[in-house]
Structure 1
Amino acid sequence: MNITQEKVDNLNTILKINIEPADYTPRVDKAIKDHAKKAKLPGFRPGMVPAAHIKKMYGKSILVDEINNLLSDSLNNYLEEQKIEVLGQPLPKTDDTREYNWDFADNFEFNYEVGLAPEVDVDFSSKDKLTRYVIKVDADTLAERTKNIRRAYGKMTNPDVSADDDVLYAQLEQLSPDGSVFEGGISETTSVRLDQVTDADVKASLIGLKKDDVVELDIQKAYGSDAAKIAGLLKVDEETAADLKSKFRLTVKNVNRLEESDLNQEFFDKLFGEGNVTTEEGFTAKITEELEGMMQQDAERKLQDDIYNYATGKAQFELPDEFLKRWLKATNEKLSDEELADGYADFAKNLKWTLISNKIIRDNGIEIKYDEVFAVAKQRLDAQFRMYSPQPLTEEQLGQYTVQYLQNKETANKIFEEVKALKVFDYIKSVITLDDKETTNAEFAKMNA
């Protein structure tokens, strides 16, 4: 067998593979014998079918399979031995029109296009500068969070008259254009939370109501045409909710109010454990710390996005774009030309980031260890379980679930890539200059809108 390389340019090459009978005959003979041992054909005992008979019946298909296997093995070995770093996989040249007899005596020549990985030239230093945001909670967010926590631990009352933030337990009946109840229309007894009503005029019409009061409700106006909220309120699907044009009759059955819990020691102990917080100032400090911790995760994600964009913009290397487009089409049969055109820029950017990350990992001897992958997987599972159960798992249970979780190869690879990315981000953050800038969560939200 002979493999030669015909370089097109720095990013593209053609591999020519010449295969002679001496290269494939031993593999084909072995495959025919193996097939004969397993074949079950009329007139022959199992395992006793003559190889010549198998060759006569299935020889050409076996030859094709073995040539393909030989090509695959040879290509992979050659690329590994020659230390050729490729992007995608080699593609058979489509302009090759040669035909073969497949008669066990052919000399074959196959040509493959190969996209080559570029030399990655991107270095980071203290001259590279990015902003790292330090988010401080604003007074309105702190007040809202405090209110929600106090209400969560408060008690339910039933005032005579509704006020802002109350919940109306009410009957909603769909109306006809003339204002009468629509026969066979939507009728639902449900809870109308006034804090979710976005239109000020509608909300005003729902304040001051008492049991058995009746008002007309423009439901699309009340919820800003939010189909998801309307669907949840009326127990219908979102498509139906979006198409609703009718108004509704709202009949109050009860007014519910969730009173806020007192800021006392019993409340503090329920939230933070006995004796850990003893004053209102300590409570506020804890809530502030919790909020700013969550907000800082948002700031960290933004910093990672900024590093990604900065690094891929700084990278001064090209990709074999035309080859990669052909490869994407070849490996994704349903990918349309329009989808390829729209999505290729993002694909190329992600590929650049992968090449940059690999260079940083390689040049700096960064290792990704199993215990690091295990720790991140464990964190992810712990967060998932806490979403559904207030009672956390024991360390032993969490460890057992993590072991099972990582037995899935696809999952394990995903966590590995996540740890790898975090290490790359940490490295870049350690060498560039990060200018810390304080901002409020409201300002930060506007910045990322």
Structure 2
Amino acid sequence: MQVIETLADGLKRELKVVIPAKDMEARLNERLADAKDRVRINGFRPGKVPVSHLKKVYGKSMMADLVNEIIRDKPSAILSERGEKSATQPEIAMTEDQAEAEKILDAQADFEFTLSYEIIPAIELKDVSGIKVTREVVEIADKEIDEQILKIAESARTYETKKGKAAEGDRVTMDYLGKVDGEAFEGGKDEDAELVIGSNRFIPGFEDQLVGVKAGDEKVITVTFPADYPAAHLAGKEATFDITVKDVAAPAELKIDDELATKLGLESVDRLREVVRGQIESQYGSVTRQKVKRQILDQLDEMYKFDTPQRLVDAEFENIWRQINTDLQQAGKTFADEDTTEEEAREEYRKLAERRVRLGLVLSEIGEKAGVQVSDEEMQRSLFEQLRQFPGQEKQILDYFRKTPGASASLRAPLFEEKVVDHLLSEVTVTDKTVSKEELLADDEAEEGQSEGKKAAPKKKAAAKAEVAEGDDAAPKKKAPAKKKAADDGAE
């Protein structure tokens, strides 16, 4: 077998592989000899079929199998011998001429094919001890724990039917039918819907008009959907809702005590406080982690500058671009609405794709050199988490991961990346800084946009408060697409 390099341009490589016809014939003859004792052909005793006859009957199909095995196995072996890693699956090309293919299958012509691929560049790891990050930490006050407990307790709050008019905080049970231009719209109808006045779950202005209603009342409410409402066919439209009030109930008083804890499935109020504190710490810790990770990735991005395999960049860009366009479509927006053009957006997201790929390669190299491993148990936990997110679809998801080549990599990649970040945190300089929750959660998109070159990213919109009925088409929960955090731009 001959391997001839025909292209070496930057990271691009192309190899011509030639296997002489006599070698192909020798391999075929070995297979025919091995099959001789196993093949059963009418008119011949077992093991007595002449190889020449066997070749006449099965030669071409066996040679085709041999060609397929070479195409499947040889590329990785060739790259290994060359000490190269391909960024993506190498592209393989061979003759499409039927006559030439027949000669190869008859062992009358050399078998030739080409391998085209991009190599993963050699990365010389740099000292990271000079990286400095600030870890923002929030001290959780008892007041915040109490506030969170009260929010949680709303799920356990009881209501008692009352006589008289509905007031702020009361729960109204009603039937309603929404109309635009006198025509009912999809998702705008519900029966026995429960709404707590002041919860801000419905369209702005809707709940205010329920103040003063009482059981048995019928009323027409007029509201206007927000201009940035996620459902484009309703955005900015005036709508009416025919309301029939069935019940008005007043809320029972909420107290933070052992009785409340018991209603929530815990043994005591002290245990409830402990659980809630842990939840808040976890939420803040997640934000802290992302900010620290972003600082590390930004500094690694400055430290490492090298050409990236364009096929990887292309694939990453397509993933980003597909998501951006999906988000815009769901929000009923265009690039013009986001103060940019498609060309400018493509350029900016291309840069983002290149950053992700470059940092991915850097983190991969760091993790490999540090011996970072993702255990089977960690993979199992990640898979179970996927299953929990899609109840009712467990079988389809399991089948996907079992049958799709490379699917498990989508589970492993984020786990590996986080473990590499953990490793880096043990080597960089980390300074803790106590901040308020407002400072921790402050929106720093403007700074991100400058550092990431993401001016093309769609602007973040406030959450829609127009959920006429949660989950209905009239009130989708999706927001306009938001800028992606630099922490998420890393290497997954």
Fold shared by both chains (TM-score > 0.5): yes
Deviation, 1:341, is: 8.6
Q: Is the 8 A contact 1:87 1:324 kept in 2?
A: yes
Q: Is the 8 A contact 1:157 1:257 kept in 2?
A: yes
1:78 maps to a residue whose letter is: I
Deviation, 1:78, is: 2.5
1:167 maps to a residue whose letter is: R
Equivalent residue, structure 1, for 2:423:
427
SS in 2 for 1:132: strand
Deviation, 1:383, is: 10
Provide the rounded CA distance (Å) in 2 between the counterparts of 1:69 and 1:410: 20
1:123 aligned onto 2:126 = yes
Please say which of residues 138-147 and 16-25 is displaced more in the overlay.
Answer: 138-147
Q: Which runs of 5+ in 2 are unaligned?
A: 323-342, 392-399, 446-459, 461-492
Q: Is the 8 A contact 1:91 1:114 kept in 2?
A: yes
Provide the rounded CA distance (Å) in 1 between the counterparts of 2:191 and 2:3: 75
Rg larger for: 1
Q: Give the length in aligned residue pairs.
A: 405
Q: Is the 8 A contact 1:268 1:283 kept in 2?
A: yes
Provide the rounded CA distance (Å) in 2 between the counterparts of 1:417 and 1:324: 15
Equivalent residue, structure 1, for 2:244:
251
Deviation, 1:312, is: 3.8
SS in 2 for 1:190: strand
Once the two structures are superposed, the pairs formed by residues 391-406 of structure 1 within 5 Å of their partners are none
Provide the rounded CA distance (Å) in 1 between the counterparts of 2:314 and 2:201: 52
Percent identity of paired positions between Structure 1 and Structure 2:
20
SS in 2 for 1:88: coil
Once the two structures are superposed, the pairs formed by residues 50-449 of structure 1 within 5 Å of their partners are 52=52, 55-56=55-56, 59-92=59-92, 100=100, 101-102=103-104, 103-135=106-138, 144-160=147-163, 161-174=165-178, 188-194=191-197, 195-197=199-201, 201-218=205-222, 221=225, 225=229, 246-268=239-261, 273-274=266-267, 277=270, 287-321=276-310, 345=351, 347-364=353-370, 366-368=371-373, 370=375, 373-374=376-377, 377-378=380-381, 381=384, 413-443=409-439, 444=441, 446-447=443-444
1:361 maps to a residue whose letter is: G
1:76 maps to a residue whose letter is: S
Q: Which runs of 5+ in 1 are unaligned?
A: 228-238, 389-404
TM-score by length of 2: 0.64
Deviations 1:306-345 (A, max 9, x none): 4344434532111242x6679999xxxx9xxx99999765
Deviations 1:371-428 (A, max 9, x none): xx4157448748977999xxxxxxxxxxxxxxxx999997765554444222210121
2:162 maps to a residue whose letter is: P
Provide the rounded CA distance (Å) in 2 between the counterparts of 1:139 and 1:315: 45
Provide the rounded CA distance (Å) in 1 between the counterparts of 2:98 and 2:115: 14
Deviation, 1:104, is: 1.4
RMSD: 5.0
Q: Is the 8 A contact 1:325 1:340 kept in 2?
A: no
Deviation, 1:243, is: 11
Provide the rounded CA distance (Å) in 2 between the counterparts of 1:94 and 1:346: 35
